[in-house]
A and B are shown apart, each in its own frame.
Chain A
């Protein structure tokens, strides 16, 4: 291990000690809570786990935080690539959906929270991991991940409970709520407590984490890596795969317009005012895929896994500006004409007039144009006659068209990402003569 990582470890060990102590205290609380409900087995499990964490806290405060074995870190870095990360995360979302009845059991959720916190603590003893995750810019994003996890869990918990009740023929939990709540004192007290807590968090945050100020701006120098603010990192990550006019203008506009179109596309009256998954399966899955599976996932990739030169780095990998990432791009036209058919790329000559040139370009880009036509026209047509027959009949032609356009565009993002990573596809339609790329 390098000497500087020893120095870094000494400063992080103190933090880690208090972190483990806090998690141990949380588990002690959980044990007391379980004991008061006479769940003796769970109380014993949480107190034993808490005792182990207290020991970890003791060792960390003494300067020897527990560490992950090097082979494990190496295996993680070797395994973690853009494809495995994206496919794995989407797979985890799918597993979470299938196993949701089991995941919402509080003991299971508590166990998962513990596992993730301990993994975070163990990983923070790694200098490379800590350099990224404990950066003042990135700490709020770690907090956001946990907040997102909690709210997703809380929503799923209520939805699963409601689905159970609805399956038994009862009304949802929300139907039993009283219609009226007193503003004074109920709501005002809650708001006051919320305001005080938010102020305390902001003060502690600003005292503990230094603002990441940098040198005065110099138009001749772009920092490496140049990262957008965290909430735009998803869009910046999209710009790696799509041309600027698409990733910077069309796709964000489609996101906003698509969200605005939801009330016109989704006229399912069920689920109004209460949590449910079973009654709104399609809407639920689409939202989770679009929000967690694309928006949040892209932000996480951009924040934690992108380093100098916008190369992809594993969790425990050094962010080395010289990392070789060999990916020579090919357009779909080159893949089709040169690689598949073994011929030359059709020539485009500007000397015979514009019409001839456009015709030559269309012939060269025929595979890309055909692929786009198949994807956006033939696929919806085919789906309307097979898989989505009921939906197409219910929605009518216009609404079905808008819905499939939005859905296929959403699906196109991970598809294009995987094509870029695997076959190094640059653009499906590539017309540099007229600055048009798709």
Chain B
């Protein structure tokens, strides 16, 4: 009996090993297809949603309405700026000072950017001491923008300025001129006063 049992068992084992294998493989195959396809569907969905989000984000970066001022704006006539004048009224809205000052023996009207060249704080014009002063680390700049005290390593920057068709001065904030790169010699960086 035990031998017979063993025989039966061995028989069953061989049959079990030989016959159900393809069934199992088929089941797994179906499982793979279902799982794989759902994974594929999921990934595709994820990709699609991600793409939509990216597109929405990109659209968000270009708002319908901006409250930012124009990059080009007019600041009145050259005759409004007597020699030695530092005009501060455009600072709050446009971040710029209009200065009429002798630079290298030539009277120039130029637009100085109000951002400190050290770490980007907004500097303050001190009328009593005739200098621009940074409240963050104490950098000081002369009226022509030269850095003379504190840690600021280079002069304030100039924006492009020109005389527009109607004779007014027009500042263009999309172009910046740096003195240490020799760009203040560029005639677009000033208007003769």
Contact = CB atoms under 8 A, between A and B. Distances in A.
B138 interface: yes
B153 A437 contact: yes
- Chain A residues touching B, range: 35 or more
Interface residues of B, number: 30
A309 B133 contact: yes
Given A222-B135, A236-B137, 18 more contacts: A218-B92, A220-B114, A221-B122, A222-B121, A239-B118, A240-B150, A241-B151, A242-B151, A244-B118, A309-B124, A309-B138, A310-B135, A322-B129, A328-B149, A329-B147, A329-B149, A426-B151, A433-B180
B135 A432 contact: no
A215 B40 CA distance: 53
Nearest to B138: A310
Nearest to A223: B135
B60 to A, nearest CB: 20
B176 to A, nearest CB: 14
Nearest to A219: B122
Interface in B155-176: none
Q: Interface majority SS on A: helix, strand, loop or mixed?
A: loop
A244 B154 CA distance: 12
Contacts of B119: 239, 244, 248
A328 B118 contact: no
B77 interface: no
Interface in A365-417: none
A219 B67 CA distance: 13
B103 interface: no
Q: Interface majority SS on B: helix, strand, loop or mixed?
A: loop
A309 B151 contact: no
Determine which residue in B91, B114, B126, B153 has the highest number of CB atoms from chain A within 10 A of its CB, and name it.
B153
A268 interface: no
A239 B151 contact: yes
A356 interface: no
Contacts of B147: 329
A322 B136 contact: no
A310 B137 contact: yes
Interface in A225-264: 225-226, 236, 239-244, 248
Contacts of B148: 328-329
A85 B149 CA distance: 21
A290 interface: no
Interface string A326-353: 1111000000000000000000001000
The 8 A-B pairs at the shortest CB distance, nearest first, are namely: A310-B138, A224-B135, A432-B180, A222-B122, A220-B92, A222-B121, A226-B136, A437-B153
Given A244-B118, A310-B134, A322-B126, A220 B95 contact: yes
B137 A240 contact: yes
B104 interface: no
Nearest to B133: A309
A308 B93 CA distance: 24
